[in-house]
Structure 1
Amino acid sequence: MSAVREDLTVVGNTNLDIMVSGVTSLPEPGTEALVPDIRIRLGGSAGNLALRCAGLGQPTTLISRVGNDASTALVRSELDLPHLKPVLITDPELPSGVTVAVEAPGRDRAFISSLGAMSALDAADVPAEAVAARCVVLAGYFLLPRLRGPGLAGLFTRARAAGALTVLDTGWPTEGWTAEVQAEVRGVLSSVDVFLPNSDELTGLTGVEDPRAAALELAAATGTLVVAKLGADGAGLALPSGEWSHAPAQPVVPVDSTGAGDGFNAAFLTCLTRGTGPAEALGTAVRYATELVATAPEHRSAVQLAEVLPL
């Protein structure tokens, strides 16, 4: 890996999120309801991951597909940051993707998304210099139809040939964890070096409730390093050899858990890109994500990586 550049490439979904707060029910047809707050911000698994990596000082290239419309100008302005190189391919026919997130106290968020130009993103959009990074990450797998299955395998084959570490964060399939989806993901993991599921995704993929057992089974079956995000329990690392490492999260008073998973991913991958071993990176990423949860979103830019410590 000595000849590989010390940077990171993120490929995937970048769009605007419209965050609607305080929605307890939809208004009746023909009526209007007031909510406490509606905000617009950068969204998408890939966009958020790239933003967080750049915020840690990690040189990052983001590759996404957008439309030629007003929302794209907002996306570009949000990505105008030090350490971040956005490569946004403008689709001449499709609009940019948009997600509406509806949230209320005591309820899980619900999302309504339009893929738009994201539906046309494929491996040919990723230039050769981008796959020669230290890490090449695909985020938002299930929202990128042309990069599912063979599309991902082709991209990661190129990345591995260039000496890059390949990383996958799938998210949740809109069609659910059907037998076909499970087989699809297990199939593509043969071209993945690092897999970044959370505990619910692990259960959906394997049918095993215990995340440690699920991660170990998956790692052994696919030869992939599985990094399991466990929420308040921290994170775990399963090696194909059968070894398991666990980094517990210190108890904190949560302020906002939004973005904790993206923050964990960014910290873990930044550590790997800088040459830190996976077990040490795991502990650093948990500490970073825990501090994010305890910090108001408007102050999170001040949260940086702590010193890497052994587990």
Structure 2
Amino acid sequence: MMGLARLLVLGNLNLDLGVGDIPAWPTPGTESLGHWSIFRTGGSAGNTALAAASLGVPVELHAAVGDDPLGGWILRSLSEAGVDCTAVRRLPAPTAFSFSVTHPGGERTFFSSAGHLPFQGVGDEERILEAPSGSVVIACGYHLLPRWRAGALQRLFSGCRERGLVTVLDTGWPPGGQFDRQELQQVLQETDLFLPNADEAKLVTGAPTLEHALRGLDAWVPAAVVKDGPHGAWVVERGRLVHVPVEPSEPRETVGAGDAFNAAFLYARFFRGLDLEPAVAFGVEAARLALLSDPRRYPATDEVVRAMGRRA
């Protein structure tokens, strides 16, 4: 396993609820009926941990839930999937949830309850820093966790790198599109690999187009992989820009697509030792397979390999 002991997933854990397809935004005071719904463990950290566990990765989750029955249900679902939840904390607050409305064409609108998230710190720092050298630490949902800011995540990432751990960041979208760019740049200075989507890349860099954003990221981090939905992903590394396409498909809903990609990409890159571009191709295919499942199921390694082999 290329000397990698484990994948440590830090971030937001919540319940994912959703309904679709809703063709038009409802008039206030009325009701719209969807044709399908979702109810599952989610949040960027939850999705990433579940997707990684399905690939056989030893996953250690550093997150939190509320002290309510919903939090207990989420922990049981993760443990049953093979995720190590011993570092997950129960906080005296309701468990967070996110409700998505999917519109025709795949566009989504999200409504979220912060729940326990404002009270969640970066996790058990001592335990994280004791992970064997070569382990990967991915922080998810940065913008949803206020206690990660003011230098908290930056200091943790700095300590991780001093101990030979790989630091990975997926910020997610900031509520209202507002964030402190200078503060985020300081976190990125301690980040080995940045995994935004296309819209997040433009927002973070302030660039008017994706191309400008990709060029801008090259000056910020050693490497970045930018997820571009139905267009695949982009690799940015030391002045090099490479596009990795995805096979066209029509998933019913795409909540958690980026998280499924993150888990599979990190597995391929650091557990299987693939080069950057083949690892991105593996992640793209794993995410595609996850989105085509109903109900949601994250693929195992052999499923992804077979699917890629059929098109080779």
TM interval, short-chain normalised: 0.7 to 0.9
Aligned to 1:235: 233
Distance in 1, Cα, partners of 2:43 & 2:175: 15
Aligned to 2:131: 132
Deviation (angstroms), 1:294: 4.0
Aligned to 1:76: 75
Structure 1 pair 210/17, CA: closer, same or farther in 2 (3 Å)?
A: same
TM-score (norm. length: structure 2): 0.85
Distance in 2, Cα, partners of 1:25 & 1:216: 36
Matched, 1:223 2:221: yes
C-alpha deviations, 1:76-133, integer Å up to 9, x for none?
Answer: 1220235410132011x32211222233434632222122222122235344256625
Aligned to 1:67: 66
Deviation (angstroms), 1:37: 4.6
User: Which segment drifts farther, 256-265 or 230-239?
Assistant: 256-265
Kept in 2, the 8 Å contact 1:13–1:45? The answer is yes
- Secondary structure of the 1:305 match is helix
Aligned to 1:260: 257
Deviation (angstroms), 1:136: 0.2
Which consecutive residues of structure 1, in runs of 5 or more, have no partner in the other structure?
A: none
Which is bigger in relative contact order (C-alpha 8 A, separation at least 6)? 2
Aligned to 2:18: 19
Which consecutive residues of structure 2, in runs of 5 or more, have no partner in the other structure?
A: none
The list of structure 1 runs, each at least 4 consecutive aligned residues, that deviate by more than 6 angstroms after superposition, is none
Q: One-letter code of the match for 1:242?
A: G
User: Which segment drifts farther, 251-260 or 74-83?
Assistant: 251-260
Q: Residues 33-48 of structure 1 correspond to what in structure 2 (within 5 A)?
A: 35-48=34-47
Report percent identity of matched pairs: 34
Q: One-letter code of the match for 2:222?
A: T
Structure 1 pair 149/243, CA: closer, same or farther in 2 (3 Å)?
A: farther
Matched, 1:306 2:299: no
Deviation (angstroms), 1:32: 6.1
Count of paired positions? 303
Kept in 1, the 8 Å contact 2:7–2:57? The answer is yes
- Secondary structure of the 1:62 match is strand
Kept in 2, the 8 Å contact 1:65–1:117? The answer is yes
Structure 1 pair 242/88, CA: closer, same or farther in 2 (3 Å)?
A: same
- Secondary structure of the 2:84 match is strand
Kept in 2, the 8 Å contact 1:131–1:158? The answer is no
Distance in 2, Cα, partners of 1:81 & 1:63: 17
Deviation (angstroms), 1:265: 0.8
Structure 1 pair 80/203, CA: closer, same or farther in 2 (3 Å)?
A: same
Q: Residues 182-201 of structure 1 correspond to what in structure 2 (within 5 A)?
A: 182-201=181-200
**How large is the Cα RMSD of the aligned pairs?**
2.8
Deviation (angstroms), 1:51: 0.6
Q: One-letter code of the match for 2:243?
A: H
Structure 1 pair 126/257, CA: closer, same or farther in 2 (3 Å)?
A: same
Aligned to 1:251: 248
TM-score (norm. length: structure 1): 0.86
Structure 1 pair 97/150, CA: closer, same or farther in 2 (3 Å)?
A: same
Distance in 1, Cα, partners of 2:6 & 2:294: 29
Distance in 1, Cα, partners of 2:99 & 2:44: 14
Aligned to 2:269: 272
Aligned to 2:90: 90
Kept in 1, the 8 Å contact 2:202–2:209? The answer is yes
Distance in 2, Cα, partners of 1:217 & 1:27: 41
Q: One-letter code of the match for 2:194?
A: F
Kept in 1, the 8 Å contact 2:56–2:300? The answer is no
Distance in 2, Cα, partners of 1:44 & 1:182: 23
Distance in 1, Cα, partners of 2:231 & 2:123: 39
Aligned to 1:117: 116
Distance in 2, Cα, partners of 1:37 & 1:255: 9
C-alpha deviations, 1:105-164, integer Å up to 9, x for none?
Answer: 346322221222221222353442566251000001101101124011111122112211
Matched, 1:150 2:151: yes
Distance in 1, Cα, partners of 2:293 & 2:65: 31
Kept in 2, the 8 Å contact 1:256–1:296? The answer is no
Q: One-letter code of the match for 2:89?
A: I
- Secondary structure of the 2:225 match is strand
